[in-house]
Amino acid sequence: MQRTIVIGNISLDTIHRPGHLPVRQLGGAALHLAMAAARAGLPAAPASAVGDDLAGLPDDPRLPSLDWTHLHTAPEPSAAFTIHYDDTGTVTAVDTAYGTAEHLTAHALQVIDHQPETAFHISCRHPLDVPAVLASLTERGCSFSLDFHLPSAPQLIPAATPWLRHATTIFVNAEEHALLTTHAGPRPCPETVVTDGPHPARVVLNSRPQRPITPPAVAVVRQITGAGDTLAGTYLAHRARHLPPDAALDRAVQAASRHTAHMPLTFPAPPRVPS
């Protein structure tokens, strides 16, 4: 299968949930999405900017086999997000320090310039200059998919609208889908994947909703971030195998549910146990 370059943040996240101790973990859409794609068989390469604190990621034994060619390191600290959730799993506050992510746009444009025949996925998050990246991809005729994140979607969906019709697939949650429809109409691109937390997910093909897929119940939710990115990466991998959209979504929904049941990737990594 053709390799996919995932442009987005890799970060150090501190997660606060009611009734739980704070957890410091690896995060970022580019990491979660690329890992899920790789686990589902799609060669994936994160294109991200990190600091020396995460320069050792390629050697982390907990991560699947990824192509780290496009991991850019800079002297500042890596992006860091402190995320607060309520009892329902809804984000109530986010504290942000972008750090090396401020270099992501320049790095992404350079990667696109040198890889015009590669497929791309764009995680549309601040501080990425989304219009510049999408314009570059479109001018070069690159195949690309993209996703949004609710805290920044009200700004980035309108900014991205001129290029959305060139995307192969757009991933949004229910609230983002309402914004997408407002700004880009009912058919922003041929294929839109709409998720809604524990509620059914669906693919919209040429403005026609397909059969909804209901996520399985998860007895214990151990991690609350990265499920949407896991779904997107898994879906892209199975669509690259030419599975029909409903079959790809079914596998993607299952993978996202399993993700929430796994322990998060705490940082720093635990020491290796001698064999």
pLDDT reading at 271 higher than 70 = no
- With cut-offs at 50, 70 and 90, classify the pLDDT of residue 275: low
Q: What was the pLDDT predicted at 93?
A: 87
- With cut-offs at 50, 70 and 90, classify the pLDDT of residue 238: very high
**To 5 degrees, how large is the angle CA 229–CA 133–CA 148?**
30
**Which range has the worst mean pLDDT, 37-46, 198-207, 216-225?**
216-225
Mean of the pLDDT values across residues 18-46? 95
Beta bridge partners of 120: 5, 144
**Residues 196 and 214: beta-carbon distance below 8 Å:** no
pLDDT reading at 81 higher than 80 = yes
Tokens (6 digits) for 138: 């479109």
Q: Which of 54, 185, 49, 43 is nearest to 121 (CA)?
A: 43
Query: Is the model's pTM score more than 0.85?
Result: yes
Q: What was the pLDDT predicted at 178?
A: 96
Instruction: Determine, yes or no, domain membership for 273.
Output: no
**Residues 30 and 123: beta-carbon distance below 8 Å:** yes
Instruction: Determine, yes or no, domain membership for 66.
Output: yes
Instruction: Determine, yes or no, domain membership for 205.
Output: yes
Query: What are 2-21's pLDDT values in tens digits?
Result: 899 999 999 999 999 998 89
Q: 10 Å Cβ neighbour count for 87?
A: 8
Tokens (6 digits) for 32: 């979660």
Instruction: Determine, yes or no, domain membership for 57.
Output: yes
pLDDT reading at 159 higher than 80 = yes
pLDDT reading at 191 higher than 80 = yes
* 268 preceded by a cis bond (ω within 30 of 0): yes
Q: Indicate which CATH number applies to the domain containing 68.
A: 3.40.1190.20
Q: Which of 211, 2, 167, 120 is nearest to 180 (CA)?
A: 167
- With cut-offs at 50, 70 and 90, classify the pLDDT of residue 273: low
Instruction: Determine, yes or no, domain membership for 141.
Output: yes
Task: Tell me the H-state helices in 115-225.
Answer: 130-139, 153-160, 174-184
Dist CA 10 CA 215 (whole Å)? 26
Instruction: Determine, yes or no, domain membership for 267.
Output: no
Query: What are 131-155's pLDDT values in tens digits?
Result: 999 999 999 999 999 999 988 999 9
- The proportion of the chain whose per-residue pLDDT surpasses 90, expressed as a percent, equals 83
pLDDT reading at 89 higher than 80 = no
**Which range has the worst mean pLDDT, 117-126, 188-197, 266-275?**
266-275
Number of domains observed in the structure of the chain: 1
Judging by DSSP bridges, how do beta strands 4-7 and 144-148 pair with one another?
unpaired
Dist CA 224 CA 161 (whole Å)? 29
pLDDT reading at 268 higher than 90 = no
Instruction: Determine, yes or no, domain membership for 268.
Output: no
Dist CA 148 CA 178 (whole Å)? 12
- With cut-offs at 50, 70 and 90, classify the pLDDT of residue 234: very high
Instruction: Determine, yes or no, domain membership for 165.
Output: yes
Dist CA 14 CA 27 (whole Å)? 9
Domain that residue 164 falls in: 4-261
- With cut-offs at 50, 70 and 90, classify the pLDDT of residue 117: confident
- The proportion of the chain whose per-residue pLDDT surpasses 70, expressed as a percent, equals 98
User: What are the backbone dihedrals phi and psi of residue 58, each rounded to the nearest 5 degrees, phi first?
Assistant: -60, -20
